[in-house]
Chain A
Amino acid sequence: MKVNKYELISHTADIGIRVKANSLEGIFCSAASAMFDLMAKEKTPAPITHSLEISLNANSQEELVVFWLNELLSLSQAKQVIFDEFIINKFTNTILEAVVKGKGFNNYAIDTEIKAATFHELKLNKVKNNWQLELIFDV
């Protein structure tokens, strides 16, 4: 799994991440890959076995990114899959349509359970020419 760089933000009970990208879509993909990287490491490289579609609506970009990550967590647990490829097909400030691909739990060493992405202290903004997201997960 290719993981874009991300930083960890210290939080007393939980874990936060800071990701940067040159587009908003890039932020959504980087945040998703950071989240699964925190959760699991692939044991041996293997071909993709699962492909699922996601379609989301929200009132704002901030809501959309939290809904996106929580939808991925939910699908991951329900289908027992770790996702490592995120293809965004439609993207506006409030709509996201994507295809996400991954492999079964048994292909990974999973060592951190992320319960959810939260709105607490959420920051999504443009810093110079880059987008930056700070987000705290409940672990």
Chain B
Amino acid sequence: MDKSILERINEFTWRIPTSYKKGMRVPGVIYTSEALLDGVLKDKALEQVANVAFLPGIVKASLAMPDIHWGYGFAIGGVAATDIDSGGVISPGGVGFDINCGVRLLRSDLTFKDVNKKLEILVNRIFSDVPTGVGSTGKIALSTKDSKDILTKGAKWAVEKGFGTEVDLEFTESNGAMEGASIESVSKRAFERGKFQAGTLGSGNHFIEVQVVEEIFDEKIADSLGLSKDQVTVMIHSGSRGFGYQICDEYSRKMIQCLSKYNIDVPDKQLACAPLESAEGKSYFSAMKCAANYAWANRQCLMHLVRGCFEEVFDTSWKSLGMNLIYDVAHNIAKIEKHIVDNKEKKLCVHRKGATRSFGPGQSDVSIKYRSIGQPVIVPGDMGTSSYVCVGTETAMKNTFGSSCHGAGRIKSRTQALKSVNLNVLLKELQSKGIIVKAKGGKTIIEEAPSAYKNIDQVIDVVNASGIAKKIARMRPIGVIKG
């Protein structure tokens, strides 16, 4: 898209007017900076923001968060809300194949000094105990009953199996399970595809990171979150694995039939959709919830395995190490939420495709402990720089349906990374920064090289300055486990 198309609203916000493309029902609104915008203009991400504006029932704007980059259907970093009572649609493409891909962050009472001397042992232990990589199978065998329960109970299923505690659920978005997940909406194949993978990390950009809190931007809120400088944290990034891919695939096929049935015109088949209140819409939403619940159970299992590794290495219980869950967020999901649009409260279907919920203070959906400060927004960066913890804001509630970014966002394709990055040079560079990386193969490390990503500090500066989340703490990686 040519820059001249864009209308600048303020320092950190640009608009794609509805006049750009016939069929856009609302404008596109992009949260970015002048510096980041040039990178965004290089690929087709903004075209995708304009395409999303075609969705029936979409309200206010097709939004792009500061980590926006080119995806398929929706841009990654895309947020779109549709008005359910006015025929608003739900689109599997607005959630993605990896349904409820998300991140969780654990705190600890350990400091960098405590961990550094045992870092290599710890990273090796996590790498050996947590199944990673393509085709890896979990150590958690699912009975037929388990395969069903995991879909309706989510993280609670894992807790009932002894993988964590009830308290963990309080600090998980939606308490680790969306209500209304019916297994009738799930095919035999999806069960089959998911049964080997509970408690597995996956590959690609999924990871487990041991981190150190390097900087605190708001002492009071950091304290409420249980974060302090020099403290060791652990971040886990994974999703619903093959189970979610299967749900998305099957329902994308069904939704293509819905385009003619409901007379819907979208410029990309990957945006196929159906009214949420239609039989097809309800069925997808139910299946999506099953996959979302699977993902929360998966991250709960992964956290349990990681806690076990710390227990082995530090020879004490995870509870005595203070390894509590700070929060778990979904960043590929659709949810029914109430938001104010044109001064009226509306029931919306909010799609977050590579975007994190950023509910501000006072929201009843947020854990009581955080209700006065806003929900934690966990933002992973790349393996060589930093990750952030932010909190949700009133501005996000007002402007972005309570949403913010989900990561740094890629700038370089995997093929470009493979051509331009030398594995040994990269590993030495990471080593010189005190970062140990373990992965099944060198290819993943190269594809996920820091140079393939936008500068996370710049992305968070836009988030913070535009007010869609407030930055609280920055962590640097010291141990990285990839698939």
Interface string of A117-128 (1 = CB under 8 A from B): 011111000000
Q: Does the CB pair A112–B70 fall under 8 Å?
A: no
* B134 interfacial by beta-carbon distance below 8 Å: yes
The CA-CA distance from A78 to B270 in the complex, in Å, is 24
* B12 interfacial by beta-carbon distance below 8 Å: no
Q: Does the CB pair A119–B96 fall under 8 Å?
A: no
Q: Does the CB pair B134–A113 fall under 8 Å?
A: yes
With A78-B189, A139-B204: A115-B416 Cβ-Cβ less than 8 Å: no
Within residues 7 to 51 of chain A, which ones have a CB less than 8 A from any CB in chain B? 8, 10-15, 39-40
Question: DSSP majority for the B interface?
Answer: mixed
With A112-B443, A115-B97: A59-B134 Cβ-Cβ less than 8 Å: no
- Chain B residues with CB under 8 A of A129: none
Within residues 401 to 454 of chain B, which ones have a CB less than 8 A from any CB in chain A? 410-416, 440-441, 443-444
* B7 interfacial by beta-carbon distance below 8 Å: no
Question: DSSP majority for the A interface?
Answer: mixed
Q: Does the CB pair B134–A74 fall under 8 Å?
A: no
Within residues 37 to 84 of chain B, which ones have a CB less than 8 A from any CB in chain A? 43-45, 69-73, 76
Counting from the closest, the 5 A-B pairs by CB-CB distance are: A120-B72, A119-B269, A118-B72, A12-B70, A78-B192
* A86 interfacial by beta-carbon distance below 8 Å: no
The CA-CA distance from A15 to B412 in the complex, in Å, is 12
Interface residue count on the B side (C-beta < 8 Å): 46
* B268 interfacial by beta-carbon distance below 8 Å: yes
Most buried by B among A59, A80, A108, A112: A112
The CA-CA distance from A119 to B416 in the complex, in Å, is 22
Interface residue count on the A side (C-beta < 8 Å): 36
B361 to chain A, nearest CB (A): 33
Q: Does the CB pair B246–A74 fall under 8 Å?
A: yes
With A13-B69, A74-B249, A120-B270: A111-B242 Cβ-Cβ less than 8 Å: no
Q: Does the CB pair A14–B192 fall under 8 Å?
A: no
> When the two chains form the complex, which single residue of B45, B196, B411, B415 contacts A80, counting CB atoms closer than 8 Å?
B196
A69 to chain B, nearest CB (A): 10
B451 to chain A, nearest CB (A): 13
* B483 interfacial by beta-carbon distance below 8 Å: yes
Q: Does the CB pair A116–B97 fall under 8 Å?
A: yes
- Known contacts A10-B416, A11-B70, A138-B97, then 6 further A-B pairs from the complex at CB < 8 Å, ordered by chain A residue: A12-B413, A13-B410, A15-B414, A74-B246, A112-B204, A138-B96
Within residues 66 to 122 of chain A, which ones have a CB less than 8 A from any CB in chain B? 67, 70, 73-74, 77-78, 80, 105, 108-113, 115-116, 118-122
B253 and chain A: residue at smallest CB distance: A67
* B245 interfacial by beta-carbon distance below 8 Å: yes
